[in-house]
Amino acid sequence: MSLASSDARIEPGTDTRPPAGSFEEAFRAEHRRRRRHAAMWRLVLNAAGIALFVIAWELIPRYSSWINEVLFPPPSQVFEAFVPLLLSGEIVKNIRVSLLRAASGFGVALVLGIGAGVMTARLSWLQYLFEPLLHGFRSIPAIALIPLCILWFGIGETSKTALIAWGAFFPLWITTFIGVRDVNPIYLRSAACLGAGRLTTLFLVVLPAALPFILAGIRQALSVSLVVLVAAEMSGASSGIAHMMSEGHQLFRVDIMFIGLAVLGAFGFLVDRTFVAVARRLFPWYQITS
């Protein structure tokens, strides 16, 4: 307030500048224009990068003698193989099967991992009871369990879900544990003075305070889920993207293997983008507190 009045003294009423309103309008329009321009430029370069890659991939096998087109089919051939798979609905079916497996395993891990993380962080006796087991099991790569899992559960969905859940559980447990353990005690004390009980404190204070850690765990668990999914499908399955790829391997169809790789790449990318968008949307305060 005092600043505004001293401004008025320095620049008395006889002001020849255009009214502030139109200047601000123009400033805003210019700002918007620049932002749009920068975003467009970025998109153009993104698209150019992809186009360059595809062109090089198309031309090099065709015009060089040192690359075998059967082992390294150009995009036009891969696309030709892709169209019938798409039209027959086979690829869509495989994508759906794979996504369902990844989602069910990840879902189980999400519930168990966050639950275990919260319990072990809040109850020290549970922590001491389970920490040797959890840390011991955590060191076993999920892929090493595939043969055993197939023996126990066969090559059906149970064994895939169990393997993915196993792999995704540990990053979720560890990050939730750290996040909950390190919640600022001032938050807990504020909640207690304001009359919050255990459940209110858990859902309104502890979990949101631990969220930056939990989200990091979720992101890691998502990528682990995809890795374990592929390994499990390759070692015994009758459908799924990675199964389609091993069939391609047996039939010596590199183009089909390439399609599988492209789909898996797209999976990973879209899952991560979706995760970021959902997190931004749900937790507008998250960027700052993380």
Binding site for other proteins (CB under 8 A): 184, 186-187, 189-197, 200, 204-205, 208-209, 211, 283-286, 288-289
DSSP class of residue 144 equals G
Q: Are 69 and 62 within 8 A, CB to CB?
A: yes
Q: Which residue has the tokens 């899952």?
A: 271
Q: Which residue has the tokens 């126990």?
A: 152
CB of 204 to other proteins, least distance (A): 7
CB of 201 to other proteins, least distance (A): 9
CB of 191 to other proteins, least distance (A): 7
Nearer to other proteins, 158 or 287 (CB): 287
Nearer to other proteins, 211 or 256 (CB): 211
Nearer to other proteins, 85 or 196 (CB): 196
CB of 210 to other proteins, least distance (A): 11
Nearer to other proteins, 26 or 282 (CB): 282
Nearer to other proteins, 1 or 144 (CB): 1
Please name the residues in contact with 233: beta carbons below 8 A apart, sequence gap of 6 or more: 98, 101, 160, 240, 241, 242, 243, 246
Q: Are 223 and 164 within 8 A, CB to CB?
A: no
Q: Are 81 and 256 within 8 A, CB to CB?
A: yes
Nearer to other proteins, 6 or 250 (CB): 6
CB of 208 to other proteins, least distance (A): 4
- Per residue, what are the HEC states of 173-211? HHHHHHHHHCCCHHHHHHHHHCCCCHHHHHHHHHHHHHH
Q: Which residue has the tokens 């989200």?
A: 215
Q: What is the CA radius of gyration of the chain?
A: 27
CB of 178 to other proteins, least distance (A): 18
